[in-house]
Structure formats: structure tokens, C-alpha cells
Amino acid sequence: MPDVVYLNGRIVPPSEAVISVNDRGFLFGDSVYEVLRSYGGRLWALNRHLRRLARSLAAIDLHTVDLEEVRAAIEETYRASSLPDAVVYLQITRGVAPRAHAYPRDLQPTVVITVRDVAPALASIDFDGVAAVTAPDLRWRRCDIKSTNLLPNVLAKTRAHDHGVDEAILIDAEECVTEGSSTSVFWVAQNRLFTTPAGPEILPGITRELIAEIAREEGIPLLAERVRLDQFRRASEVFLAGTVHEVCPVIRLDDAPVGSGRAGPLTLQLQKGYRARVAAGDDELR
Ligand code: PLP
């Protein structure tokens, strides 16, 4: 069980954190979410996560959520945890109604927040370099919405774990890389840094956004391009970006080494830059 649970306005004992079987989040995945981290007792990038949440809510036509109340609830729940280094999960569903596909617009959204120690999640990530497999991207055409419809991601991630590796890098119908099952993807080719373009094919990752800012500040040009898998396999560096993965080198892909088989120089530079921003608590929008 998570360390602390918030449900619809109050912090509750985990045994009382119960959701209706008619909750549309449960029935239809009719809900959106955010995952954020804290470092040293401070929530990281909260404003950015709230901005993306607002975008997700608008995109699913859910207009009855007060974002300042959500901010206060996240802060209150996080404080109650007393965990310096935590993962905060927020989910907002459209609410509870007898099962029918079309939604009423007057429902009371269900708001759930959980806070957990980040340590177990970090223990399974090797920040010196992880292995990944490729998997087909079976998702819908609005991957820019952070919705809880994650079945394709769940299947791909489990396939990666079945192979004994950390992440599945998703390949679309045109044989191009989109992103990881729970991470954004960057790569280096001919000493140039690339990521996949923003658009409905990928989630607008908060870490991706921060890395783009760090690259700009460090004078590293970042190109947003689609890449075919055959070209991607020839990249000299690949790394994953995400709230929990931060900047994480990929050193093997489908049983072949990536580049030298060790974390490359641009990856390490950006990993260092990201950690410096975190250490300084510098998550202001640029
Ligand atoms: N892409 C997908 C599909 C994700 O699920 C996530 C995070 O969960 C990310 C990218 C990384 O996003 P962020 O940096 O906001 O954690």
C-alpha cells in the first residue's frame, strides 16, 4: 500500500480508500493522471505537471476540476507523508455514474493522490545504463493526453521485463520510434542530439521539456525528428527521460550494444545538467 492516500477531499487510511465499481475511471479508463517526484522534501516541477494536467483535462472535455484545489491537495498529501524523496501519483476520473459509454457533464470527479517512497522504484534502475527491447506501438492516436488508458504501455513494459530488461521502446506502423512505454526517448547520431517531435504520437514529457531547456543552455542543438528503427539502431547514444528515470542511458537494444555499449558523452553531460537543476531546485519554466 502507498504510504499516504488522499481521496476526494481528505487523507484516508489506506483501508478506507475505496472507489465505486461505477467509477468511470475503473469502467472506461475515463481519467487522466500525473506522476511527480519530490527531492529533499520539495515537490519537483509541480507547476509544469499542473499545466500538463490542465491540458489533459481539457482534451478529455473534463472542465469541472479546480486546479488550485488540486495543487493544495497534492501539497497537503505530500506534507502528510513526511517523505523527502517520494513519488506522488495523482489520478482524476470523470466520476461515478451507472455504466453507459456517453458521459454526463455534471459528475463529481474522483480525485486520488498517493505518495510513496521512491527508493523501491529507483532500486530497479541502473543509471549507468539499462537495456531495452523494441515493441510495437499499439496505442491510440492521442498519446499526448496523459490518460490512464495504458493497456498497450502495460503490455509493452511487461514484455520488456519478460526479456529481463528495463524498458520497451515503441515502434509505430511506419517503423519509426515514438517513445518508451513510460519514458521519452533521445538519441545521438553524427554527434547531433535528437528526440521525437512533439505531437499526438507522444506524451509531452516534463523531463523531455527540462532536457530541451538544459541542452539549449549548454549550447547543444536539439533536433526533433522522426527516426526509422534501422537508423535508430545505428545511434551512438540513446537515453530515456522521465520523472523517475530522469536521464537514463540505454546501452543495449534488442541484444545489441548501443554505440560503444557504455553511456556516451552527451548523455552524461545532460544527466549531470539535469541533476544540477534538481539539486538547485530550479524547475522554473524557461
Ligand atoms: N512517455 C510516456 C508514455 C510516459 O508514460 C511518461 C511518464 O510516465 C513519459 C513519457 C515521461 O514523462 P515525464 O517526463 O513527464 O515523467
Quote the pLDDT of residue 109: 98
- The CATH 3.20.10.10 portion of the chain extends over 124-280
Going by alpha carbons, the residue nearest to atom 7 of ligand 1 is 182
Please report the pLDDT score of residue 285 as a whole number. 85
- For ligand 1, atom 12, the nearest C-alpha belongs to 205
Q: Which CATH class is domain 124-280?
A: alpha beta
- State pTM to two decimals: 0.98
Q: Which atom of ligand 1 is least distant from the CA of 242?
A: 14
CATH code reported for the domain at 4-118: 3.30.470.10
Residue 6 and residue 111 in contact, taking contact as beta carbons nearer than 8 Å = yes
Q: pLDDT of 88-132, one tens digit each?
A: 999 999 999 999 999 999 999 999 999 999 999 999 999 999 999
3-state secondary structure of 54: helix
Answer for the pair 88, 49: CB distance below 8 angstroms, yes or no.
no
* Start and end residues for every CATH 3.30.470.10 domain found in the chain: 4-118
In eight-state DSSP terms, residue 218 is T
Query: Residue 44 is placed in which grid cell?
Result: 519537483
Ligand 1 mutation target, pool 49, 89, 183, most atoms within 8 A of CB: 183
pLDDT over 60 at 1, yes or no: no
User: Do residues 106 and 63 lie in contact, with contact meaning Cβ atoms separated by under 8 Å?
Assistant: no
Please list every protein residue whose CB sits less than 6 Å from any atom of ligand 1: 35, 153, 179, 182-184, 203, 205-208, 241-243
Section 251-269 average pLDDT: 98
The mean per-residue pLDDT over the stretch 143-172 comes to 98
Using the mean position of ligand 1's atoms as its centre, give its distance from the Cα of residue 263 in Å: 21
Index of the ligand 1 atom closest to the CA of residue 245: 16
Question: Which of 147, 149, 184 to mutate for ligand 1's pocket (most ligand atoms within 8 Å of CB)?
Answer: 184
Confidence band, pLDDT 50/70/90 cuts, at residue 13: very high
Q: Which amino acid is at 161?
A: H
Active site residue ranges:
146
pLDDT tens readout for residues 29-83 = 999 999 999 999 999 999 999 999 999 999 999 999 999 999 999 999 999 999 9
Is residue 2 pLDDT above 80, yes or no? no
Q: What value does the mean pLDDT of the chain take?
A: 97
